[in-house]
Structure 1
Amino acid sequence: MMEKLMHPYQNPELPIEERVTDLLGRMTLAEKAGLMFHTMAAVSPDGTLPPGDAMIPSTGELIQDKLINHVNILTLGPVTPRKIAEWHNRVQEIAAGTRLGIPVTVSTDPRHGVIDNPAASAAAGGFSAWPEPIGLGATKDPSLVREFADIARQEYLAAGIRVALHPMADLATEPRWARTSGTLGSDADTVAELLAAYVRGLQGDALGPSSVAAMVKHFPGAGPQKGGEDAHFAYGREQVYPGGMWEYHLKPFEAAFEAGAAQIMPYYGMPVDTEHEEVGFGFNKSVIEGLLRGRYGFDGVICTDWGLVTDAEIMGTPMPARAWGVEHLDRHARVQRILEAGADQLGGEHCPELIVDLVEQGRVSEERINVSVRRILRDKFRMGLFDDRRYVDPSNTEKVAGQSSFRAAGLEAQRRAVVVLTASNLPLTEGINVYLDGVDPAVAAAYAKVVDDPADADVAIVRRAAPYEPRGGGFEAFFHAGRLEWTAEELAPVLSLTAALPTVVDVMLDRPAVLTPLVTEAAALTGTFGSSDEALLDVLFGRAPSSGTLPFELPSSMAAVEESREDVPNDTVAPLFPYGHGLKL
């Protein structure tokens, strides 16, 4: 029998650029256009491919009909890593049956913490559990951050996930911003050092078959949101720089470039009162082509944030396209602006026919399309997707993801992320009587005797989420925004305990909080960033040292927050606890 002929792009012995050139020359315009979309694909709990709906077409339709082969996992309920792997292989089977057999690149938002937000992150599930990124920032330890990213890489790789839609290089300079938990802190130099370690943990020294590509976001830094509102929504579309700190917010990205970050995502926001045009960063030629491509020489893949072109409905919430500053343009013109700005992929969209139309109408050249397609294909080849990395072994996924050593490392990071703010009665003595509010009694029973009546307790331990201002239901409810102080009604149950007995209050600081009403009333105050009850109690009872320090300052009042400048780090007057505060026990 004659051996099946192999096209040059299928030959792993050839140089990558030669393979890219060969495949590019074989692609139709429709196939090229499909490559330039990076959208959501749903995963059922049993690892099968669910039917499509009004929000997301079926995966088969995306791959076979629309020729899209970059998808971001949307898990429909609890899905184990093994089931993700099984789903991944089903997806790759569909892709293998297309004309050119181009493999699918699967991506994910962060999925190693506790916050479950369909716009930003998923809870760990069967992967190892770590503090949220802001908790990694509280450790200020690059070696720990690299260890986390390397473990995430191994777990992702075992499940078939090849692009991490993280880390966030944004700085937490605006205390009210709803996405603070995804950052590594407010200080640019510290964040830059941590971010470089993060990228190297995911990718290694160079992007290759054992790498997960880091899509660093959100260029040129999404932290300075006007009034702390988020640019997912029209009322939060403006980014402002009253302190003149534009360059400061670029420092973490410069570290990412130095570390070899493969991909970059601009944010939704539109800069106000800068030298750049007042349009969203995904449409902004002077930011993408001028700054990112020109000044920094970045030649990797640039993918827009999700949903810049098409109006949608998410979780019952109408969501207009985030076409800030170009809302008046139709869908074709929006896509044209994005391509002219220099982006390669459109995130969260599945309308490649618009690119085909633009080329056929002479509004965009096919040569311009080829530039982006070449970049996108290059990463697929570098990661071995055309060769022995197309499929994964689900039985191996079970062995790798969530293995005991990874879980132990995550738990240790959770301990190290605990910040002790005040500590008049710490460490606690094991075996004492404790009253609990917000702590699992089954976990606490390993440290003390749990009682049901505060009158019988030596100490109360209370855990609370940081305060926020509810903003309606549906999708918007996932964004904790607005006020950073509790109402009197919210505080009353805690203050009744602090008045009755020594009380340790822990606050989950997904954003800074105004803790002024508690600082003189609580026997001890701690701040955590996704630490489990076990990790917190290990620190409170002295089984583990306290080493975390604040990754941002904690303001003394909302008035101080409102007077601060959005782009300036740690800018509130007379903060209750300064950046870097943390007691050692």
Structure 2
Amino acid sequence: MNTPVYRDAAQPVEHRVEDLLARMTVSEKAGLLFQTMITMNADGTLVDDPAQAPTATARRMITDLGMNHFNLLGGGGPRQMALWHNHLQELAAQTRLGIPVTLSSDPRHSFTDNPGTAIMSGAFSQWPETLGLAALNDSELVRRYADTVRREYLAVGIRLALHPQIDLATEPRWSRIVGTFGEDAELTSRLVGAYIEGLRGPGDGLGADSVSAMVKHFPGGGPQKDGEDPHFDYGREQVYPAGHFDYHLRPFRAALAAGATQMMPYYGMPVGTPYDEVGFGFNKGIITGLLREELGFDGIVCTDWGLVSDAEVLGQTMPARAWGVEHLSPLERAAMILDAGGDQFGGEHAPELVVELVESGRIPESRVDTSVRRLLAEKFRLGLFDERRYVDPDAAEEIVGSAELRTLGDAAQRRSLTLLKNGEPASGKASEPARPQGSTPQSAGALLPLSGRPRVYVAGVQPEAAARYADVVTDPAAADLAILRLDTPFEPRTGGFEAFFHAGRLDFAPERLREILSLLESVPTVVAIHLERPAVIPEIAERAGALLASYGASDAALLDVLFGHARPEGRLPFQLPRSMAEVAQGHPDLPQESSSPLYPFGHGLRYSPTASAADPLPGPAESSPQTDRTDP
């Protein structure tokens, strides 16, 4: 029997695509157009109990619905993830045409715990959030980070990154800022190219050793009205009162220049622009007119999750994010997305909708074929039909979370820490260093780096971690100094999925602020605040002995920096406003709007050389970051 052209690795991708397309039924084509969530059992087996599956079981979606694109929620040990992936591919291989699975993932290398936007690192190496990479403004580090993601994803069979997120953080209250590169279009544009190159790996285009990048959220999801997020109906409006729509496009132009092959439009709908006031995933002017025709993109467009159907999420019913077209039926919404130029429905498992659209004549089969060609071509280029269909569980255990990759992530955590204040600045006001290089003189009466073994009171820091560096006391009155870790304030929302989105005010509630200031006034205090958004902290900044920003860093990373065993190298990737009034009066689409921020974009102090920086670490020394690339 002759080998089908689509199974012959020696054939050009275009020939393989056309051969396979000609063999597919409408139902099989429809299955390719859907990508949704999937989970695994801890032992690496498939979840066969419908009650434990977030949507439907893998067996039903692959065997009955013809689907072969899935977004993995959660995970397990590297060996178990590799085994599970192979079980998934074995199941797909048993279907009529044996089309392999493309497995995708949200970010899973940092500290974020929002299951709708990212996954905690678990077995993977742990790095600062994307904001922390932006704070370092180091393209080579971003490339090295993305290369690490590539190596660890490849080891367990993940071939599509549902990132990078290159929205611009111009509305300080928006809950998705932590996943961005900050508010500056130039900085984000510079780093996104390195990110895509690192995921792509060796070679000029996608290959068997690549992880594809789904860049999001076109055409920029930052300028949300009142900072609310369009996962929810009250945040559906995206506004441009300063007329900066094109400013938010600039990073996407850079991503396309870097060879991005997939794009995800956001949920929001543009208000007060020349475009229709419907969600971007439904918006023909945005997808076909702007992305495809004006910018020349012929890759895959996948909607954000859940535009067509209502769904149960964490025990709550989430309405479809069909903003501006809520009145349409799921069938009509699906038709509108295809007509707009979309290729794939994210977070959905309803191929029967596409089958009905084709069989009823509402959508020509040739339109479906256009999207199927794009999706199949990506699978072929990634080697999924050939040598990359299965992974080695032994290699997964060696690669994922290896000492080399953990060392790289740990070093990046330390470097990304941003010193905002160190005693009183000699000039009496925060200096404004230029990007990308430069050094700010050390402040007069600097508190950091710490030396010796002081008596320390800690809050928000594990006492066991601090005990390696200092004598920990339980009463601030008995301490030489205090170390206080804080998170960016937010307004708690209702339970379930919504609770994971930290939105609303950026200042501390009065009672909590009094507690913090009481500590700061009783003992010299080092404050380290995790900035997932630009916090409003003028009173804290005034009274703190030293103030640092973190974007995802362990206690050990912070303490190494405080005691001079590592240096803070970060610079703010956004302004810190002085007041909530200033935030509320701002333009959501305008960057660096304040003329007198508490700390400006690009601010970051440096340590002067001290003897303490040469002291031996209170634990095993870290190896230097490696730049050599080693493929699994």
TM-score (normalizing by structure 2): 0.91
Confirm whether residue 15 of structure 1 aligns to residue 37 of structure 2: no
Is the 1:563–1:572 Cα contact (8 Å) retained in structure 2?
A: no
Pairing of 1:51-450 with structure 2 (within 5 A): 51-53=49-51, 55-75=54-74, 79-204=76-201, 205-424=204-423, 425-450=447-472
Find the residue that maps to 1:504 and give its secondary structure. strand
C-alpha distance in 2, partners of 1:193/1:446?
39
Matched AA of 2:180: T
Matched AA of 2:592: N
Is the 2:111–2:120 Cα contact (8 Å) retained in structure 1?
A: yes
User: Cα deviations across residues 456-500 of structure 1 (Å, max 9, x unaligned)?
Assistant: 211100101110001111100000000000012222332221111
1:460 alignment partner in structure 2 = 482
C-alpha distance in 2, partners of 1:580/1:44?
45
Select which of 525, 540, 556 maps to 1:518: 540
1:42 alignment partner in structure 2 = 39
Find the residue that maps to 2:112 and give its secondary structure. coil
Is the 1:55–1:312 Cα contact (8 Å) retained in structure 2?
A: no
C-alpha distance in 2, partners of 1:228/1:65?
41
User: Cα deviations across residues 291-336 of structure 1 (Å, max 9, x unaligned)?
Assistant: 1110111111110000000011211222110000000000110000
Give the CA deviation at 1:229.
0.2
Select which of 549, 564, 570 maps to 2:571: 549
C-alpha distance in 1, partners of 2:15/2:366?
18
Find the residue that maps to 1:471 and give its secondary structure. coil
TM-score (normalizing by structure 1): 0.98
C-alpha distance in 2, partners of 1:172/1:416?
22
Confirm whether residue 538 of structure 1 aligns to residue 560 of structure 2: yes
2:23 alignment partner in structure 1 = 26
1:482 alignment partner in structure 2 = 504
User: Cα deviations across residues 224-282 of structure 1 (Å, max 9, x unaligned)?
Assistant: 00110000000000000011101100111111101101110000000001010000000
C-alpha distance in 2, partners of 1:285/1:507?
42
Is the 1:133–1:181 Cα contact (8 Å) retained in structure 2?
A: yes
Find the residue that maps to 2:158 and give its secondary structure. coil
Give the CA deviation at 1:55.
4.1
Deviates more, 1:445-454 or 1:503-512: 445-454
C-alpha distance in 2, partners of 1:182/1:82?
28
Structure 2, unaligned runs of 5 or more = 424-446, 608-632
C-alpha distance in 1, partners of 2:452/2:463?
15
2:626 alignment partner in structure 1 = none
Is the 1:36–1:346 Cα contact (8 Å) retained in structure 2?
A: yes
Give me the identity figure in percent. Answer: 57
C-alpha distance in 2, partners of 1:72/1:226?
29
User: Cα deviations across residues 172-220 of structure 1 (Å, max 9, x unaligned)?
Assistant: 1110000000001110001100111001100133111000000000000
Matched AA of 2:466: A
Matched AA of 2:581: A
Find the residue that maps to 2:50 and give its secondary structure. coil
C-alpha distance in 2, partners of 1:305/1:468?
25
C-alpha distance in 1, partners of 2:62/2:464?
47
Find the residue that maps to 1:381 and give its secondary structure. helix
Matched AA of 1:341: A
C-alpha distance in 2, partners of 1:120/1:277?
27
Give the CA deviation at 1:48.
1.7
User: May I ask how many residue pairs the two structures share in their alignment?
Assistant: 580
Matched AA of 2:379: K
Is the 2:39–2:54 Cα contact (8 Å) retained in structure 1?
A: no
RMSD value over aligned CA atoms? 1.0
Matched AA of 2:398: K
Give the CA deviation at 1:573.
4.8
Is the 1:52–1:59 Cα contact (8 Å) retained in structure 2?
A: no
Give the CA deviation at 1:7.
0.8
Select which of 574, 596, 599 maps to 1:577: 599
C-alpha distance in 2, partners of 1:373/1:426?
58
